[in-house]
């Protein structure tokens, strides 16, 4: 009881001291104000309120919006439906995982407390699913970029008296089209090489003379 009284007296004393310092000049003593009571915080909060009111006056009252889509106030951009679904169900998902944790680790003890909890990779505002364009649109975009690039390079070669054959021998793109497609590495299978290899073997009726025979030991063991 005595300890509680001392604690209450200490709180009252600190509150009275803070009120006295607020009334006095702040330069004469320590600043005991809350971090949101400073001038910079108050100025920033005032600017944010004015900006929000300006958006309401320009774009309209968002609370009167009849659409069920989740949108951004200042740009009116509609959020991805999967992100909207995440926002609506994130509370229920958290409750289900909490009850599952209590049931498995505390009540039934079917899992240890040291078993890590899996991370939820939910689609949020800052982590949305990137929109993938179709191959037709990507090809059209690539062709437009190539046309613009070649036209500029052609004009520059004409002005500077450059050699076009020598120029086109070098790489003129950020990634070689022979190895990558739309900026991503081309994927293939080894079986695709059989067709051109068979054509090469048809040219030679007899087996070519070989000076060296290389044997893959690992392949022999597997066979």
pLDDT tens per residue, range 165-180? 777 777 777 777 777 7
Average pLDDT over residues 66-84: 73
Q: Could you tell me which of 8, 6, 38, 9 has the C-alpha nearest to residue 22?
A: 38
Q: What is the largest CA-CA distance in the chain?
A: 108
Written as six digits, the tokens of 74 are 């200042």
Residue 101 neighbours by CB under 8 Å, 6+ apart: 117
pLDDT for 95: 92
Q: For residue 104, what is the enclosing H or E element?
A: none
pLDDT for 92: 92
Alpha helices in the chain (DSSP H): 2-23, 39-59, 81-102, 135-159, 164-167, 194-203, 217-222
| Contact status, residue 138 vs residue 182, Cβ threshold 8 Å | yes
Written as six digits, the tokens of 32 are 């005991």
3-class DSSP assignment, residue 36: helix
Q: How far apart are the C-alpha atoms of 67 and 59, rounded to whole Å?
A: 15
Q: How would you class 86 by CB atoms within 10 Å of its CB: exposed for 0-12, middle for 13-18, buried for 19 or more?
A: buried
Residue 207 in this model has a pLDDT that exceeds 80: no
Residue 115 neighbours by CB under 8 Å, 6+ apart: 105
- 34 or 105: which leads in pLDDT: 105
Residue 26 in this model has a pLDDT that exceeds 60: no
């Amino acid at each position: 009881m005595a300890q509680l009284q001392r604690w209450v007296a200490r709180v009252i004393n600190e509150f009275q001291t803070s009120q006295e310092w607020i009334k006095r000049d702040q330069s004469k003593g320590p600043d005991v104000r809350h971090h949101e009571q400073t001038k910079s915080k108050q100025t920033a909060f005032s600017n944010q309120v004015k900006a929000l009111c300006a958006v309401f006056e320009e774009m309209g009252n968002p609370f009167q919006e009849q659409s069920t889509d989740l949108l951004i106030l200042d740009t009116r951009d509609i959020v991805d439906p999967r992100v909207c679904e995440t926002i609506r169900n994130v509370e229920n998902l958290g409750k289900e995982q909490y009850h599952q944790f209590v049931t498995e680790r505390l009540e039934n003890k079917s899992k240890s407390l040291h078993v890590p909890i899996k991370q939820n990779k939910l689609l949020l505002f800052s982590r949305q699913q990137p929109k993938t364009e179709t191959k037709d649109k990507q090809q059209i975009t690539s062709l437009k970029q190539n046309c613009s690039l070649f036209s500029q390079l052609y004009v520059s070669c004409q002005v500077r008296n450059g050699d076009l054959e020598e120029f086109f021998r070098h790489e003129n793109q950020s990634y070689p089209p022979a190895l990558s497609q739309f900026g991503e590495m081309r994927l293939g299978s080894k079986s695709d090489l059989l067709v051109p290899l068979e054509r090469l073997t048809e040219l030679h009726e007899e087996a070519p003379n070989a000076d060296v025979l290389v044997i893959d030991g690992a392949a022999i063991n597997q066979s």
